[in-house]
Structure 1
Amino acid sequence: MKGGRSKAGSKNDDKLAVKQKKGKKVKDPNRPKRPPSAFFVFMEGFRKQFKEKNPAVKGVAAMGKAGGDRWRAMSDDDKAQFVAIAEQRKKEYDVQVKAYEKKQAGGDEEESDKSKSEVNDEDEEGSDEEEDDD
């Protein structure tokens, strides 16, 4: 009985593992993180206020529901400050992504230049050693 279950489980696990490997892209941990939307900028401050007013409530879902309700009740004028902050963070993100992509595109060339200079340094050191022997 043990063997039958483990074999069936391993077959299913293998199938799942193969599907996940094919569908997922590998994320670069050095890539800048996407900026938060206006709602999430609002939630940064709202969480602090909610915790102060409701210290007994520990659930994330309750806090999210209360934040969502408050966000929907706000007028566009009230939301404007959060939208402006989100737009500013988006601009900063765009600059960071351009710098990151430029670094990625130029990274291969920089490595090849570096390897060339290292080879040249080794040649120069070798020629100095030969001169010392004479």
Structure 2
Amino acid sequence: MKGGRSRAETKKSDAKLSVKKGAAAAGKKPAKKGKPVKDPNKPKRPASAFFVFMEEFRKTYKEKHPNNKSVAAVGKAGGEKWKSMSDEEKAPYIAKADKRKSEYEKNLQAYNKKLADGPGDEEESDKSRSEVNDDEEDDEEGSAEDDEDDDE
């Protein structure tokens, strides 16, 4: 073959270009697999002023355009409307967003404090309370039956 590369040469050059997963991983620390698990009890971040506006806008838009099934069209129309609004028109949405943000910060502080105090203690105490209450109810029922037997 004139000017062509042989198969052996092609394999060698491909081997140099390709990254070997086994060799690369052997020399380095093992990578973390996936994202860390999110805590379902952690408070969710509040919506921005725009998203507070969009909650209301979606309702009015769907009333005016009941046949529209496109989410993108609603978002696009909402974005255009938001851009055209003055600061005075945006003020109520900004106020609602600020209120939600302050509530979120309070909830987050409470959540972080609960984590710092130790989350496992409360679950155990709730279980022990219910078990104690169950035992007390059983004792009361048993003592009432004993009283009836004594009367006879």
State TM-score, norm by structure 1: 0.65
Q: Structure 1 residues 38-47 or 23-32, which shifts more?
A: 23-32
Residues 110 and 39 (structure 1), Cα distance of their counterparts in 2 relative to 1, 3 Å cut? same
2:121 matched residue in structure 1: 110
Of 89, 94, 97 in structure 1, the residue corresponding to residue 105 of structure 2 is: 94
2:107 is paired with a residue whose SS is: helix
5+ unaligned residues in a row in structure 2: which ranges?
1-20, 22-29, 129-152
What stretches of structure 1 move > 3 A for 4+ residues in a row? Answer: 108-111
1:43 matched residue in structure 2: 54
5+ unaligned residues in a row in structure 1: which ranges?
1-10, 12-17, 118-134
Structure with max Cα Rg: 2
1:68 matched residue in structure 2: 79
Look up the equivalent residue of 1:101 and give its one-letter code.
N
Give the structure, 1 or 2, with the largest relative contact order (CA under 8 Å, sep 6 or more).
1
Partners of 2:112 and 2:49 in 1: CA distance:
25
1:58 matched residue in structure 2: 69
> Higher helix proportion, which one?
1
Residues 108 and 33 (structure 1), Cα distance of their counterparts in 2 relative to 1, 3 Å cut? closer
1:22 is paired with a residue whose SS is: coil
State TM-score, norm by structure 2: 0.58
Offset at residue 110 of structure 1 (A): 3.2
2:38 matched residue in structure 1: 27
Deviation string for 1:81-124 (max 9, x for gaps)?
1000000000000000000011111125836x96xx9xxxxxxx
Offset at residue 22 of structure 1 (A): 3.2
2:101 is paired with a residue whose SS is: helix
2:103 is paired with a residue whose SS is: helix
Partners of 2:119 and 2:91 in 1: CA distance:
43
Offset at residue 26 of structure 1 (A): 1.4
Identity between Structure 1 and Structure 2 (%)? 60
Instruction: Tell me how many residue pairs correspond in the alignment.
Output: 98
RMSD: 2.6
